[in-house]
Amino acid sequence: MRIAYFDCFSGISGDMCLGALLSAGWPAEELQSLPGRLKLRDVAITVGEARRGPFVATQVKVSVGGRQPHRHLHHIMAILDGADVNAAVRERAKEVFMRLARAEAEVHGSTLEKVHFHEVGAADALVDIVGTIQGLGALGIEEIYASPLRLGRGAVRSEHGLIPVPAPATTLLLRGVPVEMPDLEAELVTPTGAALVTTLATRWGDAPAFRLERVGVGAGQRDLREQPNVFRILVGERETAPGPRRRVAVLETSLDDENPQFVAAMIPRLLEAGALDAMLVPTHMKKGRPGLLLVVVAEPHQAAGLARILLVETGTLGVRVREEDRFELDRHPEDVETPYGKVALKVAEIPAGGERATPEFESVRMAAERSGVPLREVAEAALRAWHERHRIG
């Protein structure tokens, strides 16, 4: 899978995205033809180089001249509908503009229908947003990761007068996103940049392991004294995941001086309370005392409830909790008929192709008790029945 990592150590804006994509290999002529394909008049794009600290970065300037029309959201959507771009780019650009419009409407206590994009900014944003999405597609980017965003402080002048940094719309767009507030008086994240990254990025934080192939560096319009005002895109190939990946919570607590019978009883108690898995691991505590490490895997939203059970029903004084990524195999249940009755199985889909079946223990146990045969014999019969069904199929 081809991924891009948005390194936002000095923020993000639309023109910085364009510069980074050109630096990473997107042909400049494709960007410069965009105003014509959007049917925008008196809009031109210049591409050059700018030094920002130790970086020589690609700088993009969108020049808007003439008398631009007053544009509301429905005007923007009409431009996108009539643009000479592919359908995927068009629909993704609409998502970004819709997100931006919702934030502006909330800031001004208005509605989507009444939100307007000021004359120059509307043309500028169209180029920034459509160009960024088209450039990512041209580079074959399938998934985007982003670092925490540095926002800056101070104030900027707008058509409404002086407004604080980060801008009101920017703060609304970044709800739920990891941010930093350095003591730096500059607008590092613009509303357009915020709308782009919050729409396009699927994960935040550290980049996953991947083979780095290209680096693109886009220059901001200002040269900051405190740090290089650039935005970087790191492009590379990531190995295809062996299965779906999601976040789980892992709870751990170390136990000594506990009745082993009471601790063993905690496993079914935790599973009944919603844990995905629970296990006990023998360990050695301080001063060589034997002990047990109780590990619980759960959905993140259930971590607090399961931690409460551990704190109340064991002698522990604390529970460690962390979130981790987990690769999972797709799975589904199946039942098979055996000489000992019906047995349930869990069937997993293998990434290399095919399926793997595992008899459910409780179902095997009940069948073994009913028929009076060993557990192993019931499990082997269930697997034979499953293989026979699939061989015939």
pLDDT at 393 exceeding the cut of 70: no
Whether 314 shows a pLDDT value over 70: the answer reads yes
pLDDT in tens, 93-108: 999 999 999 998 998 8
Q: Give pairs for 94-101: CB < 8 Å, separation 24+.
A: 95/199, 96/129, 96/133, 96/195, 96/196, 96/199, 96/200, 97/73, 97/125, 97/129, 97/195, 98/73, 99/173, 99/195, 99/198, 99/199, 100/125, 100/169, 100/173, 100/191, 100/192, 100/195, 101/73
Per-residue pLDDT, averaged over 80-86, amounts to 94
- How many whole angstroms separate alpha carbon 279 and alpha carbon 255? 13
- Confidence bin at 160 (pLDDT 50/70/90): low
pLDDT band at residue 65 using 50, 70 and 90 as cut-offs: confident
**Cα 238 to Cα 165: distance, rounded to the nearest angstrom:** 36
What confidence tens digit (pLDDT) does each residue in 265-286 have?
999 999 999 999 999 999 998 8
Residue 379: the pLDDT is 95
Mean pLDDT over each residue of the chain, to the nearest integer: 91
* Cα–Cα distances in angstroms (integers) from residue 108 to residues 69, 124, 169, in the given order: 21, 21, 9
pLDDT value of position 159: 67
- pLDDT score of 165: 86
* Residue 354 or 148, more confident: 148
Identify the pLDDT of residue 66: 80
CATH number of 245-327: 3.30.70.1380
pLDDT score for 119: 42
pLDDT reported for residue 121: 57
Long-range contacts of 276-281 (CB under 8 A, 24+ apart): 276/248
Instruction: pLDDT band for 256, please (50, 70, 90 cuts).
Output: confident
What residues does each domain of the chain span? 2-237, 245-327, 331-392
Average pLDDT value for residue range 302-314 = 95
The pLDDT of 213-242, averaged and rounded, is: 90
Percent with pLDDT over 90 in the chain: 69
Mean of pLDDT values over 324-334: 89
What pLDDT is recorded for position 182?
87
- pLDDT over 70 at 151, yes or no: yes
Each residue of 350-385: pLDDT tens digit? 887 789 999 999 999 999 999 999 999 999 999 999
With a cut of 50, say whether residue 120 has pLDDT above it: no
Given a cut of 70, whether residue 184 has pLDDT beyond it is: yes
Q: Residue range 132-136: average pLDDT?
A: 97
Asked whether the predicted pLDDT for residue 135 surpasses 90, the reply is yes
Count the residues in the chain: 393
Class of domain 331-392: alpha beta
Please give the average per-residue pLDDT across 174-200, as a whole number.
92
Residue 77 to residue 38: CA distance in whole angstroms: 11
Q: Would you say residue 322 has pLDDT above 50? A: yes
